[in-house]
């Protein structure tokens, strides 16, 4: 999960800095966040057998709160911790379903 955060950040932050030169900081962050979230979702294409809806909408857009956590905490750790908690909440109950 930390690796996923780092890969996503390696797209989001440079893109944000490029866009911030041409528009407001808020607009740049929204666009960079959306693009990096979509790319994050597309990284999961093989896992979800090419299902674009699952990858872009369900996986990609679900990561927007993690991007927001980066911004609010001014640290990648906000997104990393959020990502870990989210995955635990989703996967631990699934382990007990027969």
Cβ distance 70 to 76 under 8 Å?
yes
- Tell me: the pLDDT tens digits for 61-81? 999 999 999 999 999 999 999
Q: What are the residues whose beta carbons fall under 8 Å from the beta carbon of 87, sequence distance 6 or more?
A: 1
Single pTM value for the model: 0.84
- Tell me: the pLDDT tens digits for 14-35? 999 999 999 999 999 999 999 9
């Amino acid at each position: 999960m930390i690796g996923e955060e780092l890969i996503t950040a390696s797209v989001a932050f440079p893109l944000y800095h490029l866009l911030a030169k041409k528009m407001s900081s808020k607009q740049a962050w929204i666009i960079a966040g959306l693009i990096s979230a979509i790319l994050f979702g597309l990284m999961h294409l093989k896992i979800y057998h090419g299902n674009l809806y699952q990858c872009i909408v369900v996986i990609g857009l679900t990561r927007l709160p993690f991007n927001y956590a980066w911004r609010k905490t001014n640290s990648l750790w906000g997104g990393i911790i959020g990502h870990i908690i989210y995955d635990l909440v989703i996967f631990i109950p699934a382990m007990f379903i027969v």
